[in-house]
């Protein structure tokens, strides 16, 4: 990570109200290429509101979001996705009965012409994309064409990450990506995040687990009742300090 690189994402003075509740107040943070940033805070601190405001689910009440220096505003999550911001939720929406390839192309199926005129699904393109994307992530399954329902939780999360990578997401927002996984699979997801870093992607990593945050993040940005309560490089802070920032006082 180069701390002088131009930010991929620059969130400035973002606020979001729900009627009388101010869930986010004047919140600012940046994400640079190859950087993992962890917004952290207690329940109700505003983490989900923040990522929904960035990913086009909520319209911010005020403030600014810049992508590579350019102000953006998303009416829908699809608009954010089209600009390279992909969100991976805990139960990422995979179609259970379809293969990895079909899931990568879900809603954007590639077509080819059979006999020179008949439009049919380009299964080879889907299979090739599945293979190359999963290889890129150093992720190996025996039966690439099997329905993803056959895969474990960690493998399914890898498919969701693979889909984002295939469509060239520049910023991946991950909400509790290690939740409800066994320890080996948590490690696997964390190693996928290291690979995204190495490929210059920006990652916003949300987790309840400080150990995971410390294992994977470059920077932690603490939220307390919607306000930015402090920012630390992971290499320059401790669990204790972060917990103090989270609870305040
Ligand atoms: N859709 C909503 N309508 C009303 N209040 C909300 C809504 N979403 C979140 N809030 C409130 O905003 C605050 C921040 O919530 P949230 O962003 O979910 O926090 P976190 O994800 O850190 O637990 C909380 O007080 C919560 O009750
Ligand atoms: Mg939340």
Residue 42's SS3 state is: coil
Task: Kindly give the residue spans of alpha helices, DSSP state H, lying in 105-182.
Answer: 123-136, 153-166
Fold type of domain 1-84+170-249: Rossmann fold (3.40.50)
Residue nearest to atom 10 of ligand 1 (CA): 23
Q: For ligand 1, pick from 15, 17, 18, 228 the residue to mutate: most ligand atoms within 8 Å of CB.
A: 18
Q: How confident is the model at residue 43 (pLDDT cuts 50, 70, 90)?
A: very high
For the chain, what is the mean pLDDT?
A: 90
Best CA proximity match to 178, nearest among 135, 210, 133 = 210
The pLDDT of 13-42, averaged and rounded, is 97
Pocket test of ligand 1: the residue of 38, 43, 49, 229 to mutate, having most ligand atoms within 8 Å of its CB, is 49
Angle at 164 between CA 159 and CA 168, to 5 degrees: 140
> In which band, very low, low, confident or very high, does the pLDDT at 136 lie, cut at 50, 70 and 90?
confident
Give percent above pLDDT 90 in the chain: 57
pLDDT in tens, 199-249: 999 999 999 899 999 999 999 999 999 999 999 999 999 999 999 999 997
Q: What is the model's pLDDT at position 235?
A: 97
Stretch 119-136: mean pLDDT, rounded? 88
From 93, 79, 96, 202, select the one nearest 149 (Cα to Cα): 96
| pLDDT reported for residue 25 | 98
DSSP 94: -
Q: How far is the CA of 242 from the centre of ligand 1 (A)?
A: 21
C-alpha span between 28 and 227 (Å, rounded): 9
CA pair distance 48, 128, nearest whole angstrom = 35
For residues 223 and 27, what is the distance between their CA atoms, to the nearest angstrom? 9
- Rounded Cα–Cα distance for residues 100 and 224 (Å): 39
Position with higher pLDDT, 181 vs 102: 102
Domain with CATH 3.40.50.300 in the chain: 1-84+170-249
Residue written as token pair 């962890």: 38
Specify the length of the chain in residues: 249
Q: Compute the C-alpha angle 42/211/13, nearest 5°.
A: 45
d(CA 182, CA 239): 23
Do the beta carbons of residue 51 and residue 37 sit within 8 Å? no
Q: Is the pLDDT of residue 91 over 70?
A: no
Which alpha helices (DSSP H) does 92-144 contain, by range? 100-104, 123-136
Range of lowest pLDDT (117-121, 178-182, 187-191, 213-217): 178-182
Q: How far is CA 228 from the centre of its chain?
A: 20
Residues with CB under 6 A from ligand 1: 18, 21, 23, 41, 43-49
Contacts of 16 (CB under 8 A, 6+ apart): 22, 23, 24, 46, 49, 53, 58, 60, 61, 226
Share of the chain above pLDDT 70, in %: 97
- Residue 141's pLDDT is what? 78
Please state the pTM of the whole predicted model.
Answer: 0.89
Q: Is the pLDDT of residue 24 over 90?
A: yes
Q: Is the pLDDT of residue 73 over 60?
A: yes
Q: What is the mean pLDDT of residues 164-173?
A: 90
pLDDT band (50, 70, 90) for residue 32: very high
In the prediction, which pLDDT does 222 show?
A: 98
């Amino acid at each position: 990570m180069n701390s002088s690189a131009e930010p991929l994402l620059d969130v400035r003075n973002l606020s979001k109200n729900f009627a009388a509740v101010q869930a986010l107040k004047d919140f600012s943070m940046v994400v640079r290429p190859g950087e993992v940033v962890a917004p952290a805070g207690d329940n109700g601190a505003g983490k989900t509101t923040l990522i929904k405001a960035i990913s086009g689910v909520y319209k911010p009440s005020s403030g600014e979001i810049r992508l590579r220096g350019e102000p953006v505003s998303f009416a829908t999550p699809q608009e954010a996705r089209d600009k390279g911001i992909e969100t991976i939720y805990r139960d990422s929406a995979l179609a259970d009965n379809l293969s990895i390839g079909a899931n990568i192309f879900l809603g954007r199926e590639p077509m080819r012409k059979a006999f020179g005129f008949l439009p049919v699904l380009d299964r080879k393109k889907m299979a090739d994309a599945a293979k190359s994307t999963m290889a890129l992530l150093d992720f190996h399954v025996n039966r690439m064409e099997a329905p993803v329902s056959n895969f474990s939780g960690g493998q399914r999360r890898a498919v969701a990450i693979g889909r984002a990578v295939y469509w060239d997401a520049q910023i991946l927002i991950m909400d509790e990506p290690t939740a409800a996984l066994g320890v080996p699979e948590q490690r696997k997801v964390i190693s996928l995040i290291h690979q995204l870093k190495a490929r210059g992607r920006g990652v916003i990593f949300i987790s309840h687990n400080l150990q995971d945050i410390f294992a994977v993040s470059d920077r932690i940005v603490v939220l307390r009742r919607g306000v930015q309560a402090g920012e630390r490089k992971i290499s320059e802070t401790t669990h204790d300090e972060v917990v103090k920032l989270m609870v305040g006082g």
